Amino acid sequence: MELAHRLKKIKPSATLAVTALANSLKAQGVDVIGFGSGEPDFDTPQPIKDAAIKALADGKTKYTPSGGIPELKKAIVQKFKRDNNLEYKLSEVTVNCGGKHSFYNLMQVLLNSGDEVIIPAPYWVSYPDIVLLADGTPVVIHTDELTNFKITPEMLKKHINKKTKAVVINSPSNPTGSMYTLDELKALGELLKNYDICIITDDIYESIVYNGNKFYNILNAIPELKSKTMVLNGVSKTYSMTGWRIGYMAGDETIIKQVEMVQSQSVSNPTSIAQWAAVEAIMGDQSFINEMLQAFTRRKEMIVKGLNDINGVECHNPDGAFYVFPNVKKIYQCNGFKHIIDNYKGDSLSSKLSSYLLEEARVAVVPGVAFGSDNNVRLSFATSDKSIIEGLKRIQEAIEKLV
């Protein structure tokens, strides 16, 4: 049977694929150190679990309103006021099955065939494919270490045309950890004021920020942009709740209503008990975040230093999130790498290097090509200190064989 043509445009999530491969090797008894995972390695805090257990016991096990229970919408409205100094009405927020689903729904609502969505690279693996699934065209702006992986207004302007429907800002970023300052957001916002383009700010890593920096989104920089900005967020990263599948967004009431219509004809509603857990996550004790942040800060220092100590690897210091995205271009240029090109699987240099590291060093990293940058690889430091130390040692040994 012939399947839908749109499938040919997309590929499975590279991060999920690397994690699955590392897990299957582990199941076969191979001792693999996984730097692939895109989720915190902490357990969901007990009060959040207890709220879900209570919801179950109380029989909160039926369909809910498509866009989420009013209690969760109220919590989200309060959260935006408390954490972001943004005011929304209940009708301007909606709950989805994870932040990924918020972006998916939004693309279904915004895009006509051929509409362009500007995505700065290195980007989160899912943005381009979700745009393609909605018949849109991803327009990638390449950035590198020279601008700290951030776009400037000049770069953005060059990519805007009549077909531009939306622009995505993900700060702090997956995979680079780079975060825009208030001034940088102001400069981008001043440009965007002149266009009828939807600004999508994916704030999922807002609470994982280092080096004493403060998180801002583009609405903090330019409040007048509110009517054209959609703010996406969720509980997955902040509360270590990736499996619960609760994301949310805020913005224009008409768009929110259409998102809820799409949702009503697809998943009906996010899981009822997960929504009650999310109410507790957002409204309950927030001290878990600081504990997580302390561990991440320590591991970040360790991994940045460890990677920079390896010949041929250059690693910047991320502002936020729990990834590093070291540059490995110098490794591609060394003599020993010819052997990797000839003998290891992959359709790009970063894939071949990743295959080599998996087979030779038993270390799983994600090829940068999946994020739109073949000169880099991504390592998540949401893993134990012990694994980081052992993993760095293995990477160093494997790379030293090449030079």
Ligand X SMILES: *Cc1c(COP(=O)(O)O)cnc(C)c1O
- Please give the Cα distance from 289 to 126 (Å, whole number): 25
- Please give the Cα distance from 271 to 256 (Å, whole number): 19
**Is residue 204 at the binding interface for ligand X, with CB under 6 A as the rule?**
yes
**Is residue 319 at the binding interface for ligand X, with CB under 6 A as the rule?**
no
Radius of gyration of the chain (CA): 21
DSSP 98: S
Answer for which of 34, 40, 99, 372 binds ligand X (CB under 6 A) is 99
For the chain, give the number of residues.
Answer: 403
**Is residue 100 at the binding interface for ligand X, with CB under 6 A as the rule?**
yes
Where does 126-195 have alpha helices with state H?
A: 126-133, 153-158, 182-192
Residues 207-236 binding ligand X (CB under 6 A) are 234, 236
The region, left, alpha or beta by phi > 0 then psi within -120 to 50, assigned to residue 245 is left
**Is residue 320 at the binding interface for ligand X, with CB under 6 A as the rule?**
no
211 phi and psi, to 5 degrees?
55, 30
Least distance CB 165 / ligand X (angstroms): 19
Least distance CB 158 / ligand X (angstroms): 24
The residue (of 174 and 217) whose beta carbon lies closer to ligand X is: 174
**Is residue 354 at the binding interface for ligand X, with CB under 6 A as the rule?**
no
Least distance CB 231 / ligand X (angstroms): 12
End-to-end CA distance of the chain: 50
Instruction: Name the one range near ligand X by CB under 6 A: 86-94, 97-105, 183-191, 325-333.
Output: 97-105
The residue (of 242 and 375) whose beta carbon lies closer to ligand X is: 242
- Please give the Cα distance from 256 to 250 (Å, whole number): 7
Answer for which of 143, 174, 207, 350 binds ligand X (CB under 6 A) is 174
- Please give the Cα distance from 90 to 253 (Å, whole number): 9
Which residues lie across from 336 on neighbouring strands? Answer: none
Answer for which of 170, 201, 207, 229 binds ligand X (CB under 6 A) is 170
Answer for which of 36, 98, 320, 367 binds ligand X (CB under 6 A) is 98
Least distance CB 125 / ligand X (angstroms): 9
DSSP 175: T
Least distance CB 399 / ligand X (angstroms): 27
**Is residue 242 at the binding interface for ligand X, with CB under 6 A as the rule?**
yes
Least distance CB 339 / ligand X (angstroms): 34
Pairing of strands 116-121, 164-170: parallel
| Those residues with Cβ within 8 angstroms of residue 303's Cβ, 6 or more apart along the chain or in another chain | 315, 324, 379, 381, 388, 392
**Is residue 269 at the binding interface for ligand X, with CB under 6 A as the rule?**
no
User: What residue type is 389 in one-letter code?
Assistant: I
Answer for which of 35, 80, 104, 124 binds ligand X (CB under 6 A) is 124
By CB under 6 A, how many residues form the interface with ligand X?
Answer: 14
Least distance CB 183 / ligand X (angstroms): 23
Least distance CB 198 / ligand X (angstroms): 17
- Please give the Cα distance from 204 to 235 (Å, whole number): 8
The residue (of 68 and 312) whose beta carbon lies closer to ligand X is: 68
- Please give the Cα distance from 86 to 90 (Å, whole number): 13
Least distance CB 242 / ligand X (angstroms): 5
Positions in the binding site for ligand X (CB under 6 A)? 38, 98-100, 124, 170, 174, 202, 204, 234, 236-237, 242, 247
